[in-house]
Amino acid sequence: MLIKQLYTGCLSEAAYYIESNGEAAIIDPLRDIENYIELADNQKTVIKYIFETHFHADFVSGHLDLSKATGAEIIYGPDTETNFPIHKAKDGESFKLGDITIKVLHTPGHTIESSCYLVIDENDKPYAVFTGDTLFVGDVGRPDLSSGDLSSEQLAGMLYDSLQNKIIPLPGDVIVYPAHGAGSSCGKNIGTNTYSTIADEKEGNYALRQQTKEEFIKAVTEGLTAPPQYFPINAKINKEGYDSLDEVLEQGLKPLSIEEFKRLALHDDMILLDTRKSSEFTEGFIPNSISIGLDGRFAEWAGSLLPFDKPMLLITDQGKEKESLVRLARVGFNKMLGYIDGGFEAWKNAGEIVDLIVNIEPDELAMDIPFDDHLVIIDVRRETEFADGHIRDAFNIPLNEMNDPARIATLEEDQNLYLHCGSGYRSVVAASLLKRQGIHNLRNISGGWDKIKEQGNIEIEKEKSVLN
C-alpha cells in the first residue's frame, strides 16, 4: 500500500493518492489532473475510484475531468445530489482497492453529505482516515458554509454526533489525513501540520475534548468570520458540473498583440489581472490593472476580489501564463480571453501609458505623520490582526472589503492615503483596487506591519478601531 499527500500551499489543500496491488484511488482532486494521471502512470497503476469527501467550497474539484480521462467512478457519501453521474455510497459501504478496503463513514456537520474514508490495510486493520473538512489538525470544519435549510447550530450539532460516533471511537494510531492545512478559511484555526493521528487529536484538538453537545456547538460557532465570497460559487460548480479545464486553457492561452489587448481592454466590464510579484507591479503596470501576485495566496484572493461573470485579460511574467490560468481555474474562473504577448515589458517598450504605485519606507511615514494634516493610514489586514496591534489612529479596511462601495465612500478626495498590510502583498492588491476606482493619492508602505513594528518612533496601540 502507498499513500501520497499532494499538498497545494496557496489553497492549503491536500489531495491524496492511494494505491494497492496495481489499483489506485484519488481523494479530493484539484481541477488540474495531470499530476494524478502522471503519478498513476509512473506507478503502473489504474485509477479505479475518485472519492470526494464533500462539495468543496474553496476550490473546483477535478472529479469530472479525471473520471472522463480514466474511467474511474466518482464516489460521494450519503445525501449527495449532483447533476452528473456518481456512485452515492451508503454509510458503512466498503470498496476494494487491490489488497486494501476503503470504508465510507458518513459524517454530516460541515456539510450534509460530508463523509470520511477509512482505509483498512491488508491485515484487516484500520490504518488511516481521510477526514475531508470534518476533522482538521487542531480544528474541525466550520458549520456555516453549506447548510441548506439548516442553521449553523444545527449542523454543528450534527458534527458533534459525527465525531462522537464515527471518529473518536477509531484506534488511536489511525493516521488522520485532512483536506486542508493552516491558512484555509474552511476552519477557524487549523494547525500547522498536514496530518496527525486520532490519539493526538483527542489530546490536542479543542473539538474532541470531553464536552456536552451544547458546549461543542458554542465552541465551533463562536468567532466565525465571514467566508470568502467565492465559496458558494465553487460549491455550486462542484455540485452542478463545469467546462473541462482543457477548454478553459484553449480559450485563455491566446497571446494577444498590444493592439488586440488594447481593443479588448476597452470593454467596460473587462478585468485586467496582473499576476507578477507585487514588488514588480508597483514599479510600473498597465493602467486599471489589478495586482494579485502568484507569489501569495493567489487563487484565494482572486476568488474573493474578482467577479466570476466578467471577462478577463492577463498580464504575467513570460512563462507564467499557463500557471496563472490553471490557478484561476482552480477556483472557478472560466472567462480568461488571453494574455498580452511579451508581458508588461512589451507594453512599456511600445511606449504605452504606464501607471505606478509610490512605495515608502516606514521611516518616511514616521516623518510625514506629524506634518501632514490630511494623512490617513489604511491598514488592510484582517480585523483580528488589526486588533492585536496597529498604528495609532489608523483605520482598518480589510482587503476583502476593498471593493465595498460603502467602505470606499468614507475616503475623501483631499486625503493622502498610506496603505499597509502584514508584509506588503495585500496592500499592493488594495492599492491597485483603489486606483482602478479612481483613487490615486496613495502610497504603499514597504514591508508592511512587519517593518513598521521595528520603527521606534511610530506610535502603536492595541485598541480595536475599525473604520465604519
**pLDDT per position as a tens digit, 220-230:** 999 888 888 89
Backbone torsions φ then ψ of 13, nearest 5 degrees: -115, 140
Band the pLDDT of 468: cuts 50, 70, 90: very low
Task: Note whether 2-232 and 358-461 share their fold.
Answer: no
Band the pLDDT of 90: cuts 50, 70, 90: very high
Q: How far apart are the first and last CA of the chain?
A: 56
Band the pLDDT of 405: cuts 50, 70, 90: confident
Amino acid type, 222: E
What is the distance between the alpha carbons of residues 183 and 170, in angstroms, rounded to a whole number? 27
Band the pLDDT of 384: cuts 50, 70, 90: confident
What is the distance between the alpha carbons of residues 129 and 116, in angstroms, rounded to a whole number? 7
What is the distance between the alpha carbons of residues 262 and 291, in angstroms, rounded to a whole number? 18
| Structure confidence by residue, pLDDT tens digits, 178-197 | 999 999 999 988 999 999 99
Task: Give me the pLDDT at residue 463, please.
Answer: 62
Cβ atoms of 168 and 205 within 8 Å: the answer is no
Task: Give me the pLDDT at residue 466, please.
Answer: 44
Task: Give me the pLDDT at residue 268, please.
Answer: 86
Region 79-89: mean pLDDT is 95
Task: Give me the pLDDT at residue 73, please.
Answer: 98
**Bridge partners (DSSP) listed for residue 419:** 378, 444
Which listed CATH number (3.60.15.10, 3.40.250.10, 3.40.1160.10, 3.40.50.300) goes with 358-461? 3.40.250.10
Query: Residue 324 gets which letter from DSSP?
Result: H
Cβ atoms of 374 and 358 within 8 Å: the answer is no
Backbone torsions φ then ψ of 332, nearest 5 degrees: 100, 5
Q: Which residues of 356-390 are buried (b: 16+ CB within 10 A; e: fewer)?
A: ebebeebeebbeebeeeeebbbbbbbbeebbeeeb
Phi-psi region of 447 (alpha: psi -120 to 50; beta: other; left: phi over 0): left
Band the pLDDT of 147: cuts 50, 70, 90: low
Taking only Cα atoms into account, the Rg of the chain, rounded to an integer number of angstroms, comes to 24
Cβ atoms of 308 and 318 within 8 Å: the answer is no
Task: Give me the pLDDT at residue 332, please.
Answer: 95
Percent of residues, the chain, with pLDDT higher than 90:
88
- DSSP assignment of 198-266: HHHHHHH-GGGSS--HHHHHHHHHTTPPPPPTTHHHHHHHHHH----HHHHHHHH--EE-HHHHHHHHT
What is the distance between the alpha carbons of residues 398 and 378, in angstroms, rounded to a whole number? 9
What is the distance between the alpha carbons of residues 373 and 8, in angstroms, rounded to a whole number? 46
CATH class of 2-232: alpha beta
Cβ atoms of 284 and 344 within 8 Å: the answer is yes
**CATH homologous superfamily, domain 243-349:** Rhodanese-like domain (3.40.250.10)
* SS3 call for 445: strand
What is the distance between the alpha carbons of residues 161 and 217, in angstroms, rounded to a whole number? 11
Count of other CB atoms within 10 angstroms of residue 337: 18
Task: Give me the pLDDT at residue 19, please.
Answer: 98
* SS3 call for 377: strand
What is the distance between the alpha carbons of residues 450 and 276, in angstroms, rounded to a whole number? 22
Q: Which residues contact 361 (CB under 8 A, 6 or more apart)?
A: 445, 446, 447, 451
SS3 content of the chain, % helix, strand, coil (to 5): 30, 25, 45
Domain ranges of the chain: 2-232, 243-349, 358-461
Percent of residues, the chain, with pLDDT higher than 70:
98
Task: Give me the pLDDT at residue 465, please.
Answer: 44
| Structure confidence by residue, pLDDT tens digits, 2-49 | 999 999 998 999 999 999 999 999 999 999 999 999 999 999 999 999
